[in-house]
Structure 1
Amino acid sequence: MEVSKTMMAMVILVLFGLMTEQASCKVVQFIFGDSLSDVGNNNRLPRSLARASLPWYGIDFGNGMPNGRFTNGRTVADIIGDKMGLPRPPAFLDPSVDEDVILQNGLSYASGGAGILNETGQLFVQKFSLDKQIELFQGTQALVKKKIGEKAANKFFTDSLYVVALGSNDFINNYLFPVYADSWKYTGAGFINLLMTTLEQQLTLLHRLGARQLIFFGLGPMGCIPLQRVLSTSGACQEKTNQLAKDFNKAGSQLLLRLSKSLPNASFQFGDAYDVVENVISDPTNHGFNNSDSPCCSLGRIRPALTCTPASSLCKDRSKYVFWDEYHPSDKANEIIANEIMSKLTFFSVNSTTHTPSVLPPALAPSPV
């Protein structure tokens, strides 16, 4: 009889422990994207040619060493997550990731060079396309279900926030790149329709996997990034490229609205910061910048230098530059973009404590050695 009581007590304790563990699952985010959101996946892909593994990437983040982010500080997703009280998700390939880390922090599958289309970014050799990122997410779900049970896992994934932020590579490293078949196979409108058809299938799959609250980041004025400017004869923004971004955003906004109405319990929102970024670029001084057409980190007259390297020279004050390198915005610009997107979203703070940012304020650049 005493043994029976002891066994019953043990069972109760185990069940209580499981219930406590399941109840403690907080809201986290799962991020799907490209180099604008990558936090280290590509740095761990040995054959990838799109890596932020050298100084001066990450100079204004944490210890100032490269961390996989393609900027000097935070990504837009970092900043929005901080404002919502969400923990910063580690990269899927981070060796410290296990089921407990996932339950506490979520995961980022974002990969530099990735696109909506699988063929996008093939010149980078190794990257996770959006299809591959979703496949990896399915593997994550299997691990979590094994850890806490299917019912608790389903609630965990349903309560989570999802960020999807990609599309620019589908243009810059596909449609606008003549080595790709898509560049001559489609008109601009036809290519955007292909992207929307593919994206609809991908977002619908994410919904089927549990995504209910989802943000899709729209494109900025791609024709104004330093890489596009330097390829033009005048150094001006390439308006044809900008128009593609605007058309993509219009179609994407309509798609997210339609999915929100048609998918059960879905709140799919489109985060559009095109206008504010265009305004910052055209009138930088009004937003605290003094340069909006060239990268802070560059090799001087050698343009375009696609990545920032230890041999590059840095601008004197990184907070005054809209662009960090030929392609990616600076931490300060990302903050403006994040604030604009947040102003248009209906999500609110989801966890009781706010995550403490691990970014240091931009300061004077150290001298390259």
Structure 2
Amino acid sequence: MARLASPPSVFFTIFAVAMVFIGTVAPQAEGARAFYVFGDSLVDNGNNNYLFTSARADSPPYGIDYPSHRPTGRFSNGYNIPDLISQQIGAESTLAYLNPQLTGQKLLVGANFASAGIGILNDTGIQFANIIRIYRQLELFQEYQRRVSALIGIEQTKRLVNKGLVLITLGGNDYVNNYFLTPITARRLQYSLPEFTRLLITEYRKILMRLYDLGARRVLVTGTGPLGCVPAELAVRSTNGQCAEEPQQAAALFNPRLVQMIQSLNQELGSDVFVAVNAVEMQNNFIDNPQAFGFVTSKVACCGQGPYNGVGTCTAVSNLCPNRDIYAFWDPFHPTERANKIIVQTIMTGSDKYMYPMNLSTIMAMDSQT
């Protein structure tokens, strides 16, 4: 999540491609699967590094626990959710779409189109200036398909995309970086919180249908996390360490409606194309009882300043905890790598309380039979 981006799907796969004769790329081997990622800072693998924007994570101590120990543009001390899902299914991480290394065979692994700061609405994140808004991400997905078609042909590209896994993470920024950004905002004046939530769900439905029209057939759709419980919200809205009431109300309104919308879409399409990822329940587990998950706190960010280390952004001059594994939050908005691992394990094997109508392990098993 973030005031750089927000809250809290997924995936790719192992690809098996062979070069034939004069450098032509052969179709992927049976069973190979691409992974496509859309959304905000929770899943951005570095696209914002290539943009003129303040919503970026390209300086220390970001990436302190990444294998290179250097910042990568991920809003994490190490791996983020897409990376960890890739590992679970035996694939390499997808590259950011704007990364110049995303060429040739690497295109067949998939691509990450996410951009920190964006939301469902185009006016979300305007303070970050040059970010890749969601409909632009979808345009880049079309461009990606044209590039892959030049490599393996139109029919094989269609098959690659249809069989691919998709993760999309939107919604949190529409609240924290739009509706609740200041005590008085244009959207607050325009809509009550329930009305604003209905607007978001209506617009999100259009985005998901556009993804379907572009060939996506297995889409993990995350809801928001517990918006009022992140260190940034505790720092500015909480007087006693309790989760901030209004953002929590927003999450409580948004997430059930998202599940209902996904159920309706799947019924309309006659297939379980979209899978709801109940991020708020996943995170509530370790926010409500951090010690049970090996965390010393779920209130104080590892990196930051001010109350709960929740003020401003994580920089080289911020307070920095020595052991990231015992903190649920890395910076004022984003989980640590270890918290992300807990989330991803639940995505893989969680019950329908967390993954509706099925978890990722079930999806992989089902799809391997077709």
TM-score range normalised by the length of the shorter chain:
0.7 to 0.9
Show CA shifts across 1:63-109 (max 9, x none): 11000110101112222222123331100111111242111x21001
Q: Does 1:334 align with 2:350?
A: no
Q: Displacement, 1:254? A: 1.2
Q: Displacement, 1:200? A: 0.9
Match of 2:81 among 66, 73, 76: 76
Q: Report the number of matched residues.
A: 337
Match of 1:167 among 158, 171, 178: 171
Structure 1 runs of 4+ aligned residues shifted over 6 Å read 14-20, 349-352
Q: Displacement, 1:139? A: 0.9
2:364 corresponding residue in structure 1: 348
Q: Which amino acid aligns with 1:186?
A: Y
Q: Per the alignment, in what secondary structure is the counterpart of residue 24 of structure 1?
A: coil
Q: Does 1:270 align with 2:276?
A: yes
Q: Does 1:28 align with 2:34?
A: yes
Q: Displacement, 1:341? A: 2.3
Distance 1:270 1:302 in 2: 31
Show CA shifts across 1:257-316 (max 9, x none): 221222254521001132232231122111100011111012356964322111123112
Show CA shifts across 1:136-184 (max 9, x none): 1111111112222111111111011111012100100011123642122
Q: Per the alignment, in what secondary structure is the counterpart of residue 26 of structure 2?
A: helix
Normalised by the length of structure 2, the TM-score is 0.85
1:108 corresponding residue in structure 2: 112
Distance 2:44 2:24 in 1: 34
Unaligned runs of 5+ in 1: 1-13, 353-369
| Distance of aligned partners of 1:349 and 1:69 in 2 relative to their CA distance in 1, 3 Å threshold | farther
2:142 corresponding residue in structure 1: 138
Q: Displacement, 1:16? A: 8.8
| Distance of aligned partners of 1:302 and 1:320 in 2 relative to their CA distance in 1, 3 Å threshold | closer
Q: Does 1:227 align with 2:243?
A: no
2:300 corresponding residue in structure 1: 294
2:254 corresponding residue in structure 1: 248
Match of 2:322 among 316, 321, 326: 316
Q: Displacement, 1:191? A: 0.9
Assess if the C-alpha contact under 8 Å between 1:85 and 1:351 holds in 2.
no
Q: Per the alignment, in what secondary structure is the counterpart of residue 27 of structure 2?
A: helix
Q: Per the alignment, in what secondary structure is the counterpart of residue 276 of structure 2?
A: strand
Assess if the C-alpha contact under 8 Å between 1:53 and 1:67 holds in 2.
yes
Distance 1:116 1:302 in 2: 28
Q: Which amino acid aligns with 2:363?
A: F
Assess if the C-alpha contact under 8 Å between 1:86 and 1:350 holds in 2.
no
Per mean C-alpha deviation after superposition, the further-off stretch among 155-164 and 22-31 is 22-31
Q: Does 1:217 align with 2:222?
A: yes
Per mean C-alpha deviation after superposition, the further-off stretch among 233-242 and 111-120 is 233-242
Q: Which amino acid aligns with 1:197?
A: T
Q: Which amino acid aligns with 1:268?
A: F
Per mean C-alpha deviation after superposition, the further-off stretch among 229-238 and 324-333 is 229-238
Q: Displacement, 1:111? A: 0.6
Q: Per the alignment, in what secondary structure is the counterpart of residue 299 of structure 2?
A: strand
| Distance of aligned partners of 1:159 and 1:339 in 2 relative to their CA distance in 1, 3 Å threshold | same
Assess if the C-alpha contact under 8 Å between 1:84 and 1:350 holds in 2.
no
Unaligned runs of 5+ in 2: 1-18
Show CA shifts across 1:108-131 (max 9, x none): 011110111111000011111111
Assess if the C-alpha contact under 8 Å between 2:166 and 2:216 holds in 1.
yes
2:244 corresponding residue in structure 1: 238
2:4 corresponding residue in structure 1: none
1:54 corresponding residue in structure 2: 59
Assess if the C-alpha contact under 8 Å between 2:229 and 2:243 holds in 1.
yes
Match of 1:153 among 133, 136, 157: 157
Q: Does 1:95 align with 2:100?
A: yes
| Distance of aligned partners of 1:316 and 1:19 in 2 relative to their CA distance in 1, 3 Å threshold | closer
1:119 corresponding residue in structure 2: 123
Match of 1:305 among 311, 318, 328: 311
